[in-house]
Structures are given as C-alpha cells and as structure tokens.
Structure 1
Amino acid sequence: MSVQYASTTEAAFLLNISTGRLRTLLNQGRVRDACKVKRLWQIPLNKRGMPEITPGRRGPEGTWNKNKRTGNTFIHVLRKTIDYNRDNGTSHPAVAVKVGDKKDYCHALKINGPCQIVYQPHQPNKSQAGGARLWIEVEPQHILKRVYFSDGDYGPPPEVVEQRAKSQKKKSKKKGNNRST
C-alpha cells in the first residue's frame, strides 16, 4: 500500500488545529516523517488517514482531534466567485467548506460517505453571509478530501474579502457614531 500525503491545510483540518500551529509543529520536527519539497510540506498520513504528531517534552498533552466533530459540515458553491473568475480570467477557489466556526475554501471536494443537498429558498441558512439557499450537508464522521489546483494556501475568494471589508466599515461607522454621542 502506498503512503498518502497531505498538504498543510488538509493536515491541519484533519488534526483540528490551525495551519499556523501545524507549521510550528513542522518546524519543530514533531510531525512524523514530514518533509519539505522546495517550499511545500508533504505530510504522510497513517493507516487511519491522520498525520502523526510526536509529543512535546513540556506542557500539557496535545488535544488534536481527540474529540470527534459533532456538527455537520456545510459545503457551499460560491456563485459570485464563479462569475468573478469568468469575468477576470482568475481561478480562485469557488467551494466553501464550513465545519463549526472554521471556514475553508477549495476548488473541489471528495466526500467519503453519505451527504445531502438542501434547498430552502424561503428559509436561508443565516450562518452564511447573505443567507445561503442551497448547500450540501455532510455528517460529522465523514472526512472530506479537498483539492487545490495550484500551489499555496488559499484565503477567502475576492467577493468574500470585499464583503468582510464592507461589514468592517459598517462596524467602524457604528463605533464612531457611538463615541460622538
């Protein structure tokens, strides 16, 4: 059986830690058999599909992924990103994956297990900006395999960045109005 490798983003998701924390563990040499090829890390997965972390010498025992996820995973196709990519000749990730309060963006997904497509035009999902009306739900025990089309870690697509900037402006205006009164 061949060894499967994960990127830093995928491995961090599997371990339920941030990519920054994973990079710290990688730089400390605590991720078993991980190697750096040029500027990208290749992190091997064990038989259970998880990276192996060696324990540190001090502090409390690590808690990565000991607690199983209890909430469903929500997958959204970002229509505005698709339009933006078409109009600007770009290829930003157009799939949003939300697990709890963490959100990740990718180009494609492989879902290992059952899932369902939900369409609620009159009761949008309020957890998404603008209220999503169509999404895919995956039960918590099923692992998703994310696919990225080019090197590097991806942040939010352009329209998500714009939306966040607008909401920050609104918040700062409200704070400014509260201070003047």
Structure 2
Amino acid sequence: MKLTRAALLLLSMMGLYACGGGDGDTGQDPGITPPAASGSVREALLKMDADGAAPKLNRDADVAGPDVDGNGVRDDLDAYINSLPDTELQKKALRQGYRVMRSLLLLDTMDTTAVLDGMRSSNAAIWCIYSRYDSDAKEKSGDIEKYSVNTEERYKAYALFNSAASGHSAVMPRGNGCDE
C-alpha cells in the first residue's frame, strides 16, 4: 500500500500523541541540570515580530484572543489568512486549522472525550490542508501551530493538551477532512 505524504504526516502526528507516559525516566543523571536556554520565550517572540518572520500577531495574555466575528479564528489570524494569495478553498482549510488549534488551547484537558474529539478534529484539519495544498502543506500546518501558540499562556495550554493526548490514538478522517 502506497502512503501519501499526508498519510505519513498523520501517522507521525498520531505517534506523537502516543509518545509519553512511562515511568518518567529521561535517561539523564538526576544530579545534572541542563543549561538554561538563552533568552525567554517572550524575547524570542519579540525578535520574531521585529525581524518580520511572522505576521503581526496578538500577544494578549488571554489564551483565546479576540474573535469579534465569532468564527472561531482569532482576528489577527483571520486578517493574516485574508492577506494570503491562496485560493478560497485553501483559505477555508487554513481557517479550519486555526479554529481547531484555538479549540485545543481552550478545551478541558481533564475530559478524555473532549481530548479525543480534539485529536480527531486536529487530524481532520491537517488532512484537509494536505488535500488543498501541494508542496506548501507542511509549512502551512507548521505555521498554524507557530502562529497560534505565540504566547507563554498559549504555549502552556498547548502543552496541557499534548500531555492529555499522550498515549491516545485517533483514526484518520473520512474523505478530505475539510469542514467546507
């Protein structure tokens, strides 16, 4: 059976969800403290803004961020999507991806059903992006994570979701995974 790039990505993401758990042994001597990373998350984000490596992004402490039109996508990310030269179907795939990522940051990680639903939605959104983009799909998927998880508060929320998802698996979506 020949696997497409999207299927391979989906399988690797499911592998990430399945990693973790165990006895917590990192294989490192507990007496050794790893060196501190230079600079803070906030400094790295400010540098990214300053060098133009990313669109102008909301940096509020609020995990959800503003969504005036209520479409589930932060307003700054909606404006970014609208500025792209992509087709309308591609933009819909991106909106789905950003909407799902935002929902992952906000879900109750103590609710296993919500976590599993979030994983399924995430897999569908990635599948959708791969169905609508060719060589740019991996970059577009990465941008969704990078631009959505752009504050310390959002990073912590995403880490909670990933921790809750660890050890679980999700099935591949039917069809192209797209909502619209």
Looking at secondary structure, tell me which structure has more strand per residue.
1
Which of the five TM-score ranges fits, normalised by the shorter chain?
under 0.3
Q: Normalization by structure 2: what TM-score? A: 0.26
Q: Normalization by structure 1: what TM-score? A: 0.26
